[in-house]
């Protein structure tokens, strides 16, 4: 991708950041306008062509994200070839069918919309970046168990870092008026195998997610979000929000399909 001469030209490393007055609402309100209106759709207007500069604007937002050790362990591949999109979509559609057959009882979405998504970005990471985070340099039989914990932790830091960057990209797309779709690929060996040759991805690079965006082909709608009381406590953890495992299982059984989609009849 061509290097950007966008707004970034104004900020160099070490430069002082101009902060707004504490509590000033203008920037918050503009941000929340984007945050509130970022919504997932799973079918986009297939005739729309994303201007190249939009990819640049969106990935510039991804680039500025925070990351553990500032390692920035992400790589984004823009997919603009219709045939490759179709082949990637085929993998996810097949996986969706497998899950339905395996009776996982997860309300699996319809992945056919992947094949014609105008904005199509494959989110990758070189997982060897875990070494940038705290792990024991010499592993011995005595410290192996401890190091397992550090390694797990390092992997989580890496994944959280890529998710932070990906979210910046999603919000940038939403700010440009697009609807978005976050599709998970991490942990699916077959997805990795399907995509590597199509996109020339070397073995050491993992595909974590696919980020789709475009104008919606179906009416976008706001999904249920938990109330503030449910997600936050002050001073100490609010015991009223403590859930038993059964509460969670009950929620999954009775509500999950309703909150992923407006109601169970509208799986998109």
Ligand X SMILES: Cc1cc2nc3c(=O)[nH]c(=O)nc-3n(C[C@H](O)[C@H](O)[C@H](O)COP(=O)(O)O)c2cc1C
Q: Please, which residue, 31 or 53, has the CB nearer to ligand X?
A: 31
Q: Please, which residue, 50 or 183, has the CB nearer to ligand X?
A: 183
90: helix, strand or coil:
helix
3-state helix, strand, coil in the chain (%, to 5): 50, 10, 40
CA separation for the pair 47, 202 (Å, rounded): 32
Q: Please, which residue, 8 or 221, has the CB nearer to ligand X?
A: 221
Q: How far is the CB of 107 from ligand X (least distance, A)?
A: 10
Q: How far is the CB of 42 from ligand X (least distance, A)?
A: 6
Residues lying near ligand X in the complex (CB under 6 A): 39-40, 42, 109, 182-184, 223, 260
Q: How far is the CB of 223 from ligand X (least distance, A)?
A: 4
CA separation for the pair 50, 13 (Å, rounded): 31
Among 83, 162, 147, CA closest to 115: 83
157, 246 in Cβ contact below 8 A? Answer: no
Q: Please, which residue, 160 or 238, has the CB nearer to ligand X?
A: 160
DSSP 176: T
Q: How far is the CB of 226 from ligand X (least distance, A)?
A: 11
């Amino acid at each position: 991708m061509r290097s950007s001469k966008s707004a970034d030209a104004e900020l160099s490393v070490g430069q002082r950041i101009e902060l707004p007055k504490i509590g000033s609402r203008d920037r918050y309100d503009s941000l929340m306008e984007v945050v509130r209106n970022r919504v997932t759709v799973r079918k986009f207007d297939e005739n729309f062509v994303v201007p190249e500069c939009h990819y640049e604007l969106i990935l510039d937002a991804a680039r500025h994200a925070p990351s553990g050790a500032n390692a920035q362990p992400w790589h984004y591949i823009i997919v603009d070839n219709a045939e490759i999109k179709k082949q990637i979509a085929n993998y996810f559609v097949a996986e969706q069918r497998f899950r339905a057959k395996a009776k996982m009882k997860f309300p699996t979405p319809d992945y056919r919309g992947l094949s014609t998504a105008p904005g199509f970005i494959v989110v990758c990471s070189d997982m060897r970046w875990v070494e940038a985070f705290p792990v024991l340099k010499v592993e011995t039989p005595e410290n192996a168990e401890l190091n397992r914990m550090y390694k797990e932790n390092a992997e989580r830091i890496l994944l959280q870092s890529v998710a932070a960057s990906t979210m910046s990209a999603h919000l940038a797309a939403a700010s440009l008026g697009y609807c978005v779709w976050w599709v998970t690929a991490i942990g699916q060996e077959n997805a990795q195998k399907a995509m590597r040759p199509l996109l020339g991805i070397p073995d050491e690079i993992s595909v974590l997610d696919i980020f789709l965006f475009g104008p919606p082909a179906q009416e976008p709608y706001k999904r249920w979000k938990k109330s503030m009381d449910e997600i936050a406590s002050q001073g100490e953890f609010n015991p009223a929000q403590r859930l038993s495992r059964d509460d969670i299982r009950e929620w999954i059984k009775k509500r999950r399909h309703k909150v992923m989609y407006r109601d169970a009849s509208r799986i998109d």
